[in-house]
Amino acid sequence: MKTKLILAATVIGSVFVLTQAQTPAASKSSTTIVIPSERLTTLQQTLTDQADHGLRLASIAYHSSIKNLHSKGNFELVFVISDGRKYLYRVLTTEMEGPVLEKALNDGGAKGFRLLKQTPIPVELGFLRPRDLFVAVLENTPDSPAHYAYRVVAYRHRSYVQRDINRILADGFGQACSHQLGPVIYLVMEKVIIDSRRASHSANSSVTTVRPRRDLAEAALRLRGHRLCWCRRNRGNA
């Protein structure tokens, strides 16, 4: 019996160590920053500062406690070393309404900002005067020719909105993410649109075309003409 207990404890300890090693916060190549919800206004500046230092946002999560009736919590941001490109970030805070969130996402998507699928995060702030809002983070790759369109469907029973979802899918959208607050589920649909002009410009910028200068070509033709005349005169003299 004692041998079984020791073996079980060893296995549990091994699983704990393995899980801890796979957590981004435990990796030396990642940086974790915690921002209290009452300092939500500093989220944008934090993302900008970390991107300026060559980092990219790997994940974002929000944690709140029933102890505070979920009236406040912490945002946990994990950053990793970028792949050499500088990523840009935009933080959106909107009312917890589907049309409002959809408009904000489309405004950012038209400028090349793509929603990070761990967001939008439903957040309940305040105790005496509670405020429910969405916090979304969008990422932009400067050299990407893509921009994005979004549709947001809010529902309690999917069967009631399945026809709307099917129509959005038929328009070329796919499911990006879904988040739930209470009984309401917010489904975010995304479509990637490639700007052909930016794509062709990006492709052409990597190809160097060498064209001969016109004045050099004309000089070469004149020199060739002089040589022909000189050869004819020498033949006549001979």
Cα–Cα dist 57/210, whole Å: 41
**Position 61, amino acid:** A
Beta carbons of 94 and 137 less than 8 angstroms apart: no
Count other Cβ atoms within 10 Å, centred on residue 125: 19
Provide DSSP, 49-97.
HHHHTTEEEEEEEEEE-GGGTTS-EEEEEEEEE-SSSPPEEEEEEEES-
pLDDT tens track for 179-222: 988 899 999 999 999 977 655 555 454 443 334 444 444 545 55
**∠ CA(212), CA(218), CA(221), 5° rounding?**
110
The kind and range of the H/E element at 47 are helix 43-52
Task: Tell me the average confidence (pLDDT) per consecutive run of 10 residues in the chain, 238 residues long.
Answer: 44 34 49 92 95 95 76 91 92 93 96 95 72 91 91 96 97 94 92 76 44 46 51 52
